[in-house]
Structure 1
Amino acid sequence: MPTTWTAKEEKQYQHIKDSELDRGRSEDKAEEIAARTVNKQRRQAGKTPNKSTQGTGNPHTRLEDRTVEELHNLAAEHNIKGRSKMKKAELIKALRDKR
């Protein structure tokens, strides 16, 4: 738990962690899930900077299920020209054509 969390956020973290432990998760996994949940809510509330991902998404996820940003990053890895102006469907088609 970061020291910058409020008492309410620490209580929420502990509640989520306990809930995950009750479901049979390991201590490490329960802590990770709880921290990610609280941090996500802090980002959505504007309490922390919303750092966008530089990733390309889970490689086992269908292209349609990835975000436009993830598709842009993937297109950049494949050196697809004109990607910055492409819509999601166009990015998916270009990526499939490239493979």
Structure 2
Amino acid sequence: MPAGSSPQRERQSEHIKESAEKRGVPTGRAKEIAARTVNKERARSGEAKTASRASLRDKKSAPQRGGERSHSGAQGPTRDQLYEEARKKGVEGRSTMNKRQLRDALGH
């Protein structure tokens, strides 16, 4: 870690290193992965004095659950949401319908 790094970045680095080691990555490589990841996050958040263009425009290193990489495409409303809409519209037989059937019955 660079001198003057925040305690949060120190913890982040340690967590990444430990996680990599649990996966069987050698210690030296785990430290390198942690340092590169934390440096990229520092650059993206404006904490680093210098940063490459790739670091600034690339997707996040560790996206949160449900982030932009979590789905392959637009899934639309859930079956439960479609069911509720069908209930409000009084669609007959909705309780036995699957998602596709509910979409078709509602004209989605």
Q: TM-score, normalised by structure 2?
A: 0.46
Structure with the higher helix share, 1 or 2:
1
Bigger RCO (CA 8 Å, 6+ sep): 1
Q: TM-score, normalised by structure 1?
A: 0.50
Greater Rg by CA: 2
